[in-house]
Every structure is written in structure tokens, then in C-alpha cells.
Structure 1
Amino acid sequence: MQTLLSRKSISMTELREPAKVIAQAGNCPVAILNRSQVVGYFVPVAAISPAPLVTAGADELGAVLARRRTAIAATLKYLEDK
């Protein structure tokens, strides 16, 4: 059984009236089901909060990489050959 990542779900048939789905969704994502299987999610724009863009300097990036070195070691090893 699949885990739904939303509180509301609709069938593929209900997608024929997208305005109604948007009105019912409010600010919440809606799971789209096809024969009781999740095939996707409808996420209204209001449900996504804009993420601020923050630029990191070279020093900050180096500090983060140093802290995460063991977790990203395999990726760094792979990238050495590229």
C-alpha cells in the first residue's frame, strides 16, 4: 500500500474539472489516484512558499564541505575522474 503525502485525494476522472479541484484544494497538495494507485500530486502555487535565494561565499562552502566530507566521500571520489 502506498503512503499518501497529502490529506486529500482525487481520481483521474475528477481532473476533468481542474477549477473545482483547485477550489477544493485550497493551499494543500492533492494526491491523484488511478485505480487506487498514486500517479502524481497536484500542488497549488499557494502551497509553495518562495524560498529565499542565499549566495554562499567560498569560505562558507569550504566549511560545509569539510563538515560533510565523510558523507560525500563517494561522490567526490567519483568526480575525481571526470
Structure 2
Amino acid sequence: MARRAGSADLPLHGGRVPAWLGQRMARLGAVIAEAIVIEYGRDEFLRRLAHPFWFQSFGAVMGMDWHSSGITTSVLGAL
């Protein structure tokens, strides 16, 4: 994964992810995580989770399209 420098504006939003979206994120996240672990290993999956731009993209792919601070809680809760 290429290293890039920069910043992202992640505003703080309140509220909750709707139940239907949380369930979708959990199912989709599990399949994606399993595929990465099978193909590249657990350490690589953890390395990717630690990369902020990859994590943001992962959350968007899982369905969390709000560009805000809530993505961390939502993605990790879904996983």
C-alpha cells in the first residue's frame, strides 16, 4: 500500500447508524475481512485497519457513507 501524507476533515456527528445499515455492514464486513485474512493473513488485515485512508474506504464499502468521526465506532462495532 502506497504511503501518502495529508489530512481529512472528519466532522463530529451525533446519532446512530440505522439498524438495517448496521446489519448490512456486519454481514458485508465479515465477508470482506474473511477474504482478506484467507488471502493475505491476519497481520495484513490488521495493518490495513490501522491505515486511516484504507479504514475510511473500508467503511464506505461496508455502507457507512457518512464522512464523519462516527465511522470508527460503526465499522468496529459491525466487525
TM-score range, shorter chain: under 0.3
Select the structure of larger CA radius of gyration: 1
Query: Which structure: greater helix fraction?
Result: 2
